[in-house]
Each structure stands twice: as C-alpha cells, then as structure tokens.
C-alpha cells in the first residue's frame, strides 16, 4: 500500500522549504528580497547591493558596500585554463551550453574547491558572480574572433559586463538599464533552477555542482530560455511584415504557448514585467528603434485580452536586451549572470539547516509482483 499522497502535477502549490530570502504574493503581484519590495530595489539599489542583501540578509552600510564591491572587482578574473576551455569550444556552441560546462570546470581552479563551509561558500558566491559575467562576455568575443577586454575596477558589475562584451565603455543609460535588469532577475524563490540548485546542495555536494545543475534547469524554454524564444517571435514578425496579433493567433491555433506569458505563481502582473516594459519603451525611443517595443505591446494587449494571461519577466527582457545590443543567444546566459546571486544565496541557506531532499513518487507502473519472463518465452 502506498504511504504517500498523490502529488499535484509539477508540484504546483507544494511548499518545499522554509526560506527567508524571497517573498512572493502571486495574487497581489508582490515580490520582495529579504522583505524589501522589488520596485524600491529597482528604483534605488544596484546589483552589487542586491547581492549583499541576498547573501547577508540585510542592506550594507556605505563602508560595507565599498569593501564588497572591491572584493567583487578583485575576483573579476579567469584562470588561463578557463580561457583555453572557452577557446576550445566549437564556434557553433550555444553560449548557454558553454556557460554550463565552463562553470562546472571553474571548480578545478577554485582555491576552496574542497571546502563546503559557509565562509568558503560566501567566497565562492562572490567569485562565481564575478566569473559568470566574464565567461558570457568572453565567450562571445572569442567566437567572434575579437580580443578579450580587461575589466575596469571603476565600473559597476553591469558596466563591466557591457565593457567586456562590447569592448567599449557603456553609456550611463545602458549601464543603469542592465543594472536594473540584473536586480529584477536576481532571485525568485523556488523557481525550477533554484530548486535544482538546492536539491544538489542538499546532498552535500558542492557549490559549483549546485550552480551547474541550476544552469541546466534555467536553459529550458519553460524557464529562462523563454526570453530567447520571445525575441525569435519578434524577429519573425518583423522579417515577414506579419501583423503581430495575427501571428500569435496563428500560434495559439496550433496549440502553441506564447513565450513570455503566464506564470505558475503570479495571477496578476509580474512586478518585474512592469519595470522591463518601461525600460523597453524608454530604450526603444532613446535608440530610435522602438519597433520591438511596439510589436511586443501589440502582442501583450491581445494576449491579456484574449487569454487573460500577463507578461512575465521574460517578455520585455527580450526587446530590452536586444536594444542594449546583446545577441539573442546571450539572453538566457545573461539571466544566469544575475540569478547566480539567488542560486548561491539559496545554496547557503539550504546548508545552514540541511536535510537531504528526497521526495517520493506515487507508483503507477505494472502491479507488483510482475513475473520475470525468460528471454525465449517473450513475445
């Protein structure tokens, strides 16, 4: 007889951990990190400060933030072995796959590879945050045959990413837009990739394994991969001159889901989408290329009305990233560049009060005891 209750599909509504990191009210559209509303953080904070908040549980003082930013800047370096691994990747390799494999390899050169204490994991969180941004930017330059660009200690994390990616110091507007996007993507409670990270960490594996698991989970189009899928649709509409509403109606007629819409937890507007919509609009008009925002808006109005679905974090991040000059296949890696802060915060929280995560499955296979039929009697 079974000893477990049948699960809801996809563990919907199941509370699987206690956590003091991220608060979500899906009915009211509220998201807060350590109790602080995401709108306040988006308006006033920086990605560096948000990392501190997630990892230390409170906002830093001015001196603490300065020290922390200096440490992050000091860790903005990659071992020659990692650069060589990036150079060896075939030029057609997807940046998300390169990121997953390279992050796994970072452990070879991590000075605390075999240490799983809180202190070591905090150091690893800082290192991984610095390194992930470099890996994404450097792989893009390597695949395009461009020279690597040294980080600049005077720039923020967002500014450094843009500098290392494009080779040019970013405008203040671009740096701030990316900074806000990084804040908005930093954490989101037990989303699929964070859950994957916590499951791996709970076996007392290590931080690099947990983050590698998370990157694999983030890649899928039902999770972080959705932002790339959104832009593919915008591009297809632009290239064919199709009417955006007719285009998505066609997708729905084929029973396809529209990427960038719907959410397991939010039943109202995703608060991150509010900022990204505004950012997409502003960047579109300041760059003189507002067509991506306009196509997006038409799709959103139709899907809101017709399907009663709201845009999620991925919908307007697509046009925002494109307008910032970021290639389509870097959108999901860029999500990881931010979410590393949340993944590592959750790994540390998991280890602070760890127990192996090992649920049960409701067995629905052939009845026990099925016979083992010898080979010569099988049909």
Ligand X SMILES: CC(C)(COP(=O)(O)OP(=O)(O)OC[C@H]1O[C@@H](n2cnc3c(N)ncnc32)[C@H](O)[C@@H]1OP(=O)(O)O)[C@@H](O)C(=O)NCCC(=O)NCCS
Residues that bind ligand X (CB under 6 A): 10, 222-223, 226, 257-264, 307, 309, 312-314
Contact 351, 199 (CB under 8 A): no
Shortest Å distance, C-beta 374 to ligand X: 43
Shortest Å distance, C-beta 311 to ligand X: 9
Query: How far, CA to CA in Å, does 66 sit from each of 51, 134, 149, 282?
Result: 13, 21, 24, 30
Contact 31, 312 (CB under 8 A): no
Q: How far is CA 40 from the centre of its chain?
A: 21
Query: How far, CA to CA in Å, does 40 sit from each of 74, 340, 355?
Result: 29, 21, 34
Torsion over CA: 351, 356, 360, 366 (sign)? positive
Shortest Å distance, C-beta 48 to ligand X: 24
In DSSP notation, 196-229 reads HHHHHHHTT--HHHHHHHHHHHHTSTTTTTHHHH
Please say which residue, 159 or 333, places its beta carbon nearer to ligand X: 333
- Positions marked active-site: 223, 263, 314
Query: From edge to edge, which strands make up the β-sheet containing 36-37?
Result: 22-25, 30-33, 36-37
Nearest residue by C-beta to ligand X? 262
Shortest Å distance, C-beta 263 to ligand X: 5
Please say which residue, 156 or 227, places its beta carbon nearer to ligand X: 227
Q: Which letter does DSSP use for residue 153 in this model? A: T
Shortest Å distance, C-beta 260 to ligand X: 5
Q: How far is CA 72 from the centre of its chain?
A: 19
Helix 331-352 vs helix 207-218: crossing angle, to nearest 10: 140
Please say which residue, 93 or 222, places its beta carbon nearer to ligand X: 222
- Here the tokens at position 143 are 């695949």
Task: Give, for 106, the enclosing helix (H) or strand (E).
Answer: helix 95-106
**Overall residue count recorded for the chain in this entry:** 379
223: cis peptide before it, omega within 30°? Answer: no
Shortest Å distance, C-beta 223 to ligand X: 6
Please say which residue, 68 or 331, places its beta carbon nearer to ligand X: 331
Please say which residue, 68 or 261, places its beta carbon nearer to ligand X: 261
Please say which residue, 34 or 185, places its beta carbon nearer to ligand X: 185
């Amino acid at each position: 007889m079974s000893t477990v209750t049948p699960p809801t599909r996809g563990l919907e509504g199941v509370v699987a951990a206690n956590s003091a990191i991220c608060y979500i009210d899906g009915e009211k559209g509220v998201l807060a990190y350590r109790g602080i509303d995401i709108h306040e953080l988006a308006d006033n904070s920086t990605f560096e400060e948000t990392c501190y908040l997630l990892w230390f549980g409170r906002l830093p003082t001015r001196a603490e933030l300065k020290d922390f930013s200096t440490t992050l800047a000091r860790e903005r370096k990659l071992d020659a072995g990692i650069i060589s691994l990036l150079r060896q990747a075939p030029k057609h390799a997807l940046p998300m796959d390169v990121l997953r494999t390279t992050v796994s390899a970072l452990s070879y050169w991590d000075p605390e590879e075999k240490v799983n204490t809180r202190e070591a994991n905090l150091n690893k969180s800082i290192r991984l945050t610095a390194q992930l941004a470099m890996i994404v930017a450097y792989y893009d330059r390597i695949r395009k045959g461009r020279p690597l660009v040294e980080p600049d200690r005077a720039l923020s994390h967002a500014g450094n990413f843009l500098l290392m990616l494009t080779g040019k110091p970013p405008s203040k507007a671009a740096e701030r837009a990316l900074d806000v996007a990084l804040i908005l993507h930093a954490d989101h409670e037990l989303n699929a990739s964070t859950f994957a990270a916590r499951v791996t960490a709970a076996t007392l594996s290590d931080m690099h394994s947990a983050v590698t698991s998370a990157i694999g989970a983030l890649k899928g189009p039902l999770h972080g991969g959705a932002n790339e899928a959104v832009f593919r649709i915008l591009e297809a509409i632009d290239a064919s001159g199709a009417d955006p509403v007719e285009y998505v109606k066609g997708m729905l007629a084929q029973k396809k889901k529209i990427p960038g819409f719907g959410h397991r937890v939010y039943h109202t507007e995703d608060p991150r989408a509010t900022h990204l919509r505004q950012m997409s609009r502003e960047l579109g008009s300041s760059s003189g290329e507002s067509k991506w925002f306009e196509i997006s808006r038409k799709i959103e109005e139709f899907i809101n009305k017709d399907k009663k679905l709201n845009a999620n974090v991925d919908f307007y991040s697509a046009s925002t990233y494109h307008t910032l000059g970021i290639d389509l296949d870097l959108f999901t890696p860029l999500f990881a560049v931010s979410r590393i802060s949340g993944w590592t915060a959750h790994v540390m929280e998991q280890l602070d009060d760890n127990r192996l995560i090992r649920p049960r499955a409701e067995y629905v296979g052939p009845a026990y005891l099925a016979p083992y039929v010898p080979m010569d009697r099988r049909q």
